[in-house]
Amino acid sequence: MDRRSGGETKCAGAPCAVAPVPTAERIPKETTLHRIVVVGGGAAGLELVTRLGDRLGRCSRASVTLVECARRTHVWKPLLHAVAAGSLDPNGYEVNYLAQAHWHGFRYRFGEMVGLDRTRKQVHLAGTFDEDGRQITASRSIGYDTLVIAIGSVTNDFGTPGIAEHAVPLETPAQAERFNRRMLNACLRAQTQAGPVRPGQLHVAIVGAGATGSELAAELHRTLREVVTFGLDRINPERDIHIVLIEAADRILPALPQRISTATHRLLQEIGVEVRTGARVTAATGEGLRLADGSFVASELLVWAAGVKAPDVLRHLDGLEVNRINQLVVEPTLESTRDPDIFAIGDCAACPRRGNSGTVPPRAQAAHQQAAHMARQIERRLRGLPLLPYVYRDFGSLVSLGRWTTVGNLMGFLSGRSVFVEGLFAQLMYRSLRLVHERALGGTRRAILGVIARALARRTGPLVKLH
Ligand SMILES: Cc1cc2nc3c(=O)[nH]c(=O)nc-3n(C[C@H](O)[C@H](O)[C@H](O)COP(=O)(O)OP(=O)(O)OC[C@H]3O[C@@H](n4cnc5c(N)ncnc54)[C@H](O)[C@@H]3O)c2cc1C
């Protein structure tokens, strides 16, 4: 086992003044500390372990462990459309798990949860391997007293033929960067090929006109043109580049109020994005998309941004209850319905919504709120106090349409009514969402320094990623 590449030896020494940290992966049963294990270090899980580490881990009131399967860093998912379009370099936004654990009093364990033993209170992790197939970490089990599952969601392609092979989803930074590389390669190919640009070449089809698809369409419209200005003179943007946004519902942004949908649709059409509503994709090929009405959308680049589900592993977690999209069914207290020691937060949790027949929507603000609530809940649990229900507060929704505008609705605090916003104010509110997340992870000073550092970095390089 190559321990250096896994970073596990460093990780074992990470927490601050907690009781002696075991070097083995399995936390010994005889530890006197309450063992809190959080699986998934995304918007919800990473905020949760940071809070718990600060409040309980540092002062040895509990042992806090994060299990995370993705790369060694966290990038906030709502930034991924900008990574895909090349307008944002993820390096400036990454939070390193090892460093975060070291600074905030929790342990980070690299690995994918593949199973659970509720009787023995153990989470099973698969072994991990590097790009050359060398093992990084062996498969192992981690014991818990309180387990919080926060493994988010993945794209749901509803089994549509050809999507997995030909379309790129935007679930991870790696996928967003992969799409961006495809886009740059497509531009270089068009610039250097012998013949003229073919029909469908340099066309992008985005399936799903929710916030992600609509934001990506606007952002790509700009960045593709920006790339071409760097000497790719054989490409004529007006003639060759084409973006089509495809939505099965009868309007784009179907989950948001009509006014936001109308404003976004109008803006996208004005800048030249083709919007096709009421269009259901039945298959994808290497050349484009087949629609239910029999038509074919020729397109070299395909993005699938329609629908989410929770990861399949949740279906087989020792009998925990899941709904039809694999989410763990939880009580309003965030406890799983079948085990009071197991909780779920974020996109992977089906949490009842007060005053509403549905569940809390899979959104960043819900992940943030649930992380804060869960941290308080665990402190109450340790003190033997009854758990409190989580109540979702909808602050509204904002859709950023690149440099053109931002539109959305904000919920009035007193009236409880939705207020339509757009322009600079909406843009500032949109950016503040990311700042709230960064502040939860690193405090106010670090969040502000990050903003300044990135503003300076933007002045020293191209506004679009070119590699
Ligand atoms: C492109 C895009 C744009 C978005 N834009 C917005 C927006 O503008 N506004 C908004 O409110 N919401 C937005 N969302 C939704 C928002 O990002 C999610 O609601 C939020 O990230 C959910 O947080 P989470 O912690 O539940 O899941 P995630 O942030 O997805 O984190 C889950 C973590 O669990 C890890 N994991 C998964 N499986 C395992 C496993 N088996 N073992 C160990 N670790 C595992 C993953 O690697 C990941 O780090 C967007 C989502 C996407 C994909």
pLDDT of residue 240: 93
* pLDDT for the residue numbered 414: 59
pLDDT at 439: 94
Helix, coil or strand: residue 123: strand
Using CA atoms, how far apart are residues 276 and 232, in angstroms rounded to an integer? 29
Helix or strand or coil: residue 357?
coil
Cα(364) to ligand 1 centroid in Å equals: 8
Q: Write the DSSP symbol of residue 387.
A: P
Question: How far apart are the C-alpha atoms of 36 and 65, rounded to whole Å?
Answer: 6
Question: How far apart are the C-alpha atoms of 91 and 405, rounded to whole Å?
Answer: 25
DSSP 187-252: HHHHHHSSSPPPTTTTEEEEE--SHHHHHHHHHHHHHHHHHHTTT-TT--HHHH-EEEEE-SSSSS
pLDDT given for residue 415 in this prediction: 63
CA distance 261 to 263: 6
Q: What is the pLDDT of residue 123?
A: 98
Pairing mode, if any, of strands 242-246 and 203-207?
parallel
The DSSP annotation for 130-176 comes to -TTS-EEE--EEEE-SEEEE----EE--TT-TTHHHH-EE-SSHHHH
pLDDT at residue 307, rounded to an integer: 86
Query: Hey, which of 74, 77, 100, 315 would you mutate to test ligand 1's pocket, going by the most ligand atoms within 8 Å of its Cβ?
Result: 77
Q: What is the mean pLDDT, run by run of 10 residues, along the chain of 467 residues?
A: 32 34 42 93 98 96 96 92 92 94 97 97 96 94 98 94 95 94 95 90 96 95 92 91 97 93 94 96 96 96 94 96 97 98 98 91 96 98 97 91 86 73 89 92 92 84 73
Nearest atom in ligand 1 to the alpha carbon of residue 45 is 25
> Using alpha carbons only, how large is the chain's radius of gyration in Å?
23
Answer yes or no: are the C-beta atoms of 110 and 68 closer than 8 Å.
yes
Question: Which residue CA neighbors atom 39 of ligand 1 most closely?
Answer: 151
* Per-residue model confidence (pLDDT) at position 27: 43
The answer, yes or no, to whether any atom of ligand 1 lies below 6 A from the CB of 104, is no
Residue-level pLDDT at 297:
97
Q: Name the residue with the closest Cα to ligand 1, atom 30.
A: 152
Predicted TM-score (pTM) of the model is 0.90
Q: Give yes or no for residue 148 CB within 6 A of ligand 1.
A: no
Give the separation between CA 430 and CA 424, rounded to whole angstroms.
Answer: 10
3-state secondary structure 31-94: CCCEEEEEECCCHHHHHHHHHHHHHHHCCCCEEEEEEECCCCEECCHHHHHHHHHCCCCHHHHC
